[in-house]
């Protein structure tokens, strides 16, 4: 069939271009053209399609042919048809493959690391951010008004490279009270987040670092870009194996909740890493990941409190509030403050002074504590829902790392991880496998699993996301010997 322009301007005031080519019946060719339009993004979600009578007349084919094509595409999830609304491209739908056609699956999401996906997933259980709809807009606005009303004139000048004094003072008090940190405002440097903190420390410390064998590839990548060579340090149920630290100048850890396998660093290992730093002159870099979100365990203090002169604590509000605020902090040994400030460089890399003042008020007014407690309850409910659904529908799957944090690890049969990630993609679900987080120099250890970010989806689709997850998991019989 030749290429055709379907001109509906006289009827709908719009044109629709379809490439009607290739083998097959007229219905199959039309369906293929419409699918391709959706895949390419040219027919965006919500786009209203021509009435089938009009399209049939312009194409010179039977009305029933177009009606049948619309009906089948709706059944596959590509289109929706409602009385009074017409036929539209489905909102956020992830189509299932049609008969006789190889469909394009959703490419797994790799935030901050890999290329865009073919079709936007319907559901997102990739770890990395809280539900954006949970941002406390009202309380933040109130803090912003108070902060701007009382801000001194110098807040709108060049500023201090260490960050606003108001925020550093607020952080010193908050971190001492909540995380057991020992510091004063002079030893706190405000940055734009954990990634910025790592870049600054790479510029200051240099050399070879030990990193946990499972962690964020993005962080390892930016360290490599900064000239840091990394050596994987094995992790188990008690966190990083400090006894296996080799000849390195620094070690990067997530002691509050090992990312992504879960669990706090064992007290004996916390003491051991401080002893290592004292005896070797090394530096401990503590990524305070998920330090505020705990559910079934007592609070775990920061390792920094054991030796403020050998430990650098890095934190941010990316998980507790929003990554778009671009505010983080470094609690530094006194001898590193000037070097880090010098490495911070031009003012263009500094966080907004007005948002720093707003966060300072948000903390000192108690709004931050209230928000964290509220989100802790919300995340716990979501975690409990995940565990409950899996216990009912996938009892063969063991869930770990759930005492704290915003994600869980689902243990899978050896060798099944890639297949499950692919199956999830067919369900319109974005998930990541545990292997995505393993250090490239660390040998495969037979640990297959999924890293499930249960804080990410909006509330109204969370249950549907879990349903898609269960459909992607291997059946019980595959777990049995």
- Give the model's pLDDT for residue 79: 85
- Give the model's pLDDT for residue 348: 57
Asked whether residue 94 is assigned to any structural domain, the reply reads no
Question: Pick from 337, 366, 395: which residue ends a domain?
Answer: 366
If asked whether residues 174 and 277 sit together in one domain, one would say: yes
If asked whether residues 251 and 175 sit together in one domain, one would say: yes
| Residues 6+ away with beta carbon under 8 Å from 460 | none
If asked whether residues 198 and 304 sit together in one domain, one would say: yes
- Give the model's pLDDT for residue 133: 87
- Domains in the chain: how many in total? 3
- Give the model's pLDDT for residue 345: 81
More confident residue, 31 or 268: 268
pLDDT tens per residue, range 348-363? 567 889 999 999 999 9
If asked whether residues 160 and 304 sit together in one domain, one would say: yes
More confident residue, 274 or 45: 274
More confident residue, 187 or 158: 187
If asked whether residues 306 and 454 sit together in one domain, one would say: no
Closest CA to 257 of 382, 406, 399: 406
If asked whether residues 394 and 336 sit together in one domain, one would say: no
pLDDT tens per residue, range 436-481? 999 999 888 888 999 999 988 888 899 999 999 999 998 765 444 4
Asked whether residue 113 is assigned to any structural domain, the reply reads no
Question: Pick from 64, 89, 114: which residue ends a domain?
Answer: 89
Cα Rg for the chain, rounded, in angstroms? Answer: 26
If asked whether residues 361 and 393 sit together in one domain, one would say: no
pLDDT tens per residue, range 283-315? 999 998 777 787 776 778 899 999 999 999 999
Domain encompassing residue 27: 4-89
- Give the model's pLDDT for residue 459: 87
If asked whether residues 287 and 387 sit together in one domain, one would say: no
pLDDT tens per residue, range 156-179? 888 888 999 999 999 999 999 889
Q: Which of 58-72, 205-219, 330-344 has the lowest mean pLDDT?
A: 58-72
If asked whether residues 340 and 257 sit together in one domain, one would say: yes
Read off the pLDDT of each residue in 396-405 and give the average, rounded to a whole number.
88
Question: Pick from 326, 344, 366: which residue ends a domain?
Answer: 366
Asked if the model's pLDDT at residue 238 lies above 50, the reply is yes
Asked whether residue 386 is assigned to any structural domain, the reply reads yes
| HSE of 348, CA atoms in CB hemisphere, 13 A | 1
Asked whether residue 146 is assigned to any structural domain, the reply reads yes
If asked whether residues 344 and 457 sit together in one domain, one would say: no
- Give the model's pLDDT for residue 129: 75
Three-state secondary structure of 159-178: CCCCCCHHHHHHHHHHHHHH
If asked whether residues 227 and 308 sit together in one domain, one would say: yes
Asked whether residue 416 is assigned to any structural domain, the reply reads yes
Asked whether residue 264 is assigned to any structural domain, the reply reads yes
Asked whether residue 194 is assigned to any structural domain, the reply reads yes
CATH number at residue 15: 1.10.10.10
Asked whether residue 296 is assigned to any structural domain, the reply reads yes
Instruction: Give how far Cα 446 sits from Cα of 63, 247, 449, Å.
Output: 56, 27, 10
- Give the model's pLDDT for residue 141: 96
Q: Does the pTM exceed 0.85? A: no
If asked whether residues 334 and 399 sit together in one domain, one would say: no
């Amino acid at each position: 069939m030749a290429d055709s322009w379907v001109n509906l301007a006289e009827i709908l005031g719009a044109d629709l271009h379809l490439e009607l080519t290739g083998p097959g019946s007229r219905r199959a060719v039309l369906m293929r053209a419409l699918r391709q339009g959706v895949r390419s993004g040219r027919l965006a979600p919500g786009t209203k399609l021509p009435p089938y009578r009009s399209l049939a007349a312009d194409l010179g084919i039977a009305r029933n042919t177009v009606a049948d094509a619309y009906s089948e595409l709706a059944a596959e999830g590509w289109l929706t048809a409602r009385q009074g609304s017409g036929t539209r491209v489905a909102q956020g739908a992830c189509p299932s493959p049609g008969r006789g056609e190889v469909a394009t699956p959703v490419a797994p999401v790799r935030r901050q690391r890999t290329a865009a996906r073919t079709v936007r997933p319907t559901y997102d259980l990739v770890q990395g951010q809280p539900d954006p709809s949970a941002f406390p807009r009202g309380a933040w606005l109130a803090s912003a008004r108070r902060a701007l009303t009382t801000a001194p004139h110098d807040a709108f000048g060049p500023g201090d490279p260490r960050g606003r004094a108001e925020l550093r003072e607020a952080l010193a008090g908050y971190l001492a009270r909540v995380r057991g940190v020992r510091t004063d405002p002079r030893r706190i440097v405000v940055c734009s987040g954990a990634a910025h903190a790592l870049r600054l420390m790479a510029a200051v410390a240099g050399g070879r670092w030990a990193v946990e064998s499972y962690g964020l590839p993005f962080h390892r990548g930016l360290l490599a870009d900064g000239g840091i060579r990394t050596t994987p340090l094995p992790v188990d149920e008690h966190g990083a194996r400090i006894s296996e630290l080799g000849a390195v100048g620094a070690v990067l850890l997530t002691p509050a909740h090992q990312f992504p396998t879960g669990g706090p660093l064992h007290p004996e290992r916390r003491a051991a890493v401080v002893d290592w730093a004292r005896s070797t002159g090394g530096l401990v870099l503590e990524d305070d990941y998920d330090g505020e979100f705990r559910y079934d365990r007592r609070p775990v203090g920061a390792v920094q409190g054991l030796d403020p002169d050998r430990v650098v604590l890095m934190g941010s509000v990316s998980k507790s509030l929003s990554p778009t605020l671009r505010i983080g902090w470094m609690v530094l040994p006194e001898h590193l403050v000037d070097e880090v400030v010098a490495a911070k460089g031009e003012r263009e890399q500094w966080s907004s002074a007005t948002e720093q003042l707003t966060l300072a008020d948000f903390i000192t007014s108690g709004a931050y504590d209230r928000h964290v407690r509220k989100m802790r309850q919300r995340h716990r409910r979501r975690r409990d829902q995940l565990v409950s659904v899996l216990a009912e529908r996938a009892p063969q799957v063991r869930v770990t790392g759930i005492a704290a944090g915003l994600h869980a690890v689902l243990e899978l049969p050896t060798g099944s991880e890639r297949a499950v990630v692919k199956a999830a993609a067919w369900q319109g679900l974005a998930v990541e496998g545990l292997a995505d987080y393993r250090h490239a120099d660390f040998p495969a250890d037979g640990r297959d699993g999924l890293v499930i970010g249960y804080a990410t989806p909006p509330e109204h689709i969370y249950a549907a996301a879990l349903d898609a997850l269960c459909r992607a998991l291997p059946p019980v019989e595959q777990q049995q010997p």
